[in-house]
Structure 1
Amino acid sequence: MAFMQEKLFLLCLVTFSSLLLPVSSRGAVYQPPTVERLTDCFPRIPFTQGMSTLYGESNVHLKSNGSSVDIILDKSQYFLYVGSGLVSKNKYHHGFFSASIKLPAGFTSGVVLAFYMSNADLFPHNHDEIDFELLGYAKRRQWVLQTNMYGNGCVKTGREEKVYLWFDPTQQFHQYTILWNKYHIVFLVDNIPVREMIYNQAISSVYPSKPMSLYTTIWDASEWATSGGKYPVNYKYAPFVASLTNLEIVGCSMQKMNLPNTASTCSKNTTFSSLDPVDGEEYARLSKQQMVGLNWVRSKHMYYSYCKDTARYKVTPAECNVQ
């Protein structure tokens, strides 16, 4: 009897252990759900084809014939910090935007890696933005993933959400993806949705509606990302190197730079080069598998949502009541 009980205990232990991944710096975490691999549906392109240097040219290192790139934050010979960044060669109205990223290891407090879309250059007082922001760590030794969205210059309400990643993002590449169409905005990590912003009447006035560029940058955010500068970037640990590969940029690309300040749609009669690639029914809503993944992330890994920040917002933003 004791032998049988021991066998059952060991069987349960093995089964339970198989559901765990010992890769998070906070200890073992549960195996993420299986979801559709949307990133397999779109072609990968070299960074030299899809993006150009935005700033910090000396800190942008192309590799493997442009199929991958390192972007670096370091101090220059003049003791000024120098980040770096890339920007897409075209602007897009809706689409699928993705890259695999490996983050800098070590003490990275104040370092921010952003993968985002914006049109602040064209619409400085009325811009749209869709943000992935990966925030370096200090005491917790854990990178934080923050998502955010602005529309039509509405920046008074920050729509931030924060999650702890279920893996160590410094050890290998992981995919970060933005899907944006007229139905919803979906943020995905390794194809698992971490956030969905559904288009509805409550959010229509601040829903991104104008063509945007894709950006990726690494920069010193000491005063912004570390409790007002409490844990600034420590350049003793520099250079901070982020590596990117597997670039996917598929959307309605804008061919002319003088479009009026109005929303545009993709059709054969407009200045866009192709029809909207994510306008189909299969991209209008999350599948059952994707909903399981989204609920898994939000129940086990999310620790901040602006919708629940009653100290910051005395009146709950309208879209929070219908999401």
Structure 2
Amino acid sequence: MKNEIVNSTPSIPSGILSRTIHIYSYACGKIVLCGVKCASCPTCNQTCPDFEKERCNRLDRAPYVCNGCTKLINHCTIAHKYNYNAKAADRKYRETLSDSRSGISLSRHELRLKDKVISPLIAQGQSPYQIITNHPELDMSVRTVYTYLDMGLFTSRNIDLKRKVKFKPRKVHKTQISDRKVFTGRTYSDFSELHLDSFVEMDTVHSSNDSAKTLLTFFFTKEKLFLAFLMNRNTEGAVRLVFDRLKKRLGTYEFLSLFEHILTDRGSEFGDPDSLETGITGFQRSNIYYCDPMRSGQKGGIEQAHTMLRMVLPKKTSFEFPTQWDVKV
């Protein structure tokens, strides 16, 4: 059949006759003479009902892609190839990771039902805490209600809340201790287990932006004594220098009896408790403990002392010119 058709077509150039001619009949409704494989023929792929995609056996085992194939891409006869691109895969993964964590975990219908309960009660003057307490069927936390109000998902808005419009946005503290290992055995719960009647609260008072100087303050809870020391920088080394000077002036025994237990916040200037507790000699001279995050009230004595200090040195006051003698006076 092939010879008869070829011989009956004397007008075909001799270059084509030198190649193998594939004859496909009844796929396109007519006889087609071509030298292209059926797997690569767009006409047959679209019209033939018995067409099956050619598949490489390499794709049936790891790594399931064409990467590293010994055949050159130009010599591979399979039309569909699968190449792995690490950068594209990582970018797609991060997009999926971000999308999976965006939005809320509620359908529109569920959000509408919760809105019918929450928004009218907020309009009546009730707080989110009161609403969640009286309506446990909402199955939401107070924090979630505030978050949804901030996102504008409810009919009510932040302006409908009586007190929230008076509050400033909470500042993000970027000067917190990054090494969480220092809190081991030094948390506020560890401090509470000591049941101390007398201890020292420690904190810092910052200057205006045009000065790097800072006040290191101590408050003795039993004696109601308030001390302040001027530091040139708000760093771990500057705090350690004040400790070393106090120990040198008071002596080891007196320093240990006065500063045996110190409670402070999680500022970065207090991020090296080992050097504050032992000093150069390595002798244990103090014990440092840290308040819980955003719980400055746990050292309320020194915070109250700072309130009175700010009556003399208001905020945005520069500490560049006062000396330690001025601070003592």
Q: Shorter chain as normaliser: what TM range?
A: under 0.3
Larger strand fraction of residues: 1
- Max Rg structure: 2
Q: Normalising to structure 2: TM-score of the pair?
A: 0.26
| Higher RCO (CA-CA < 8 Å; seq separation 6+) | 1
TM-score (norm 1): 0.26
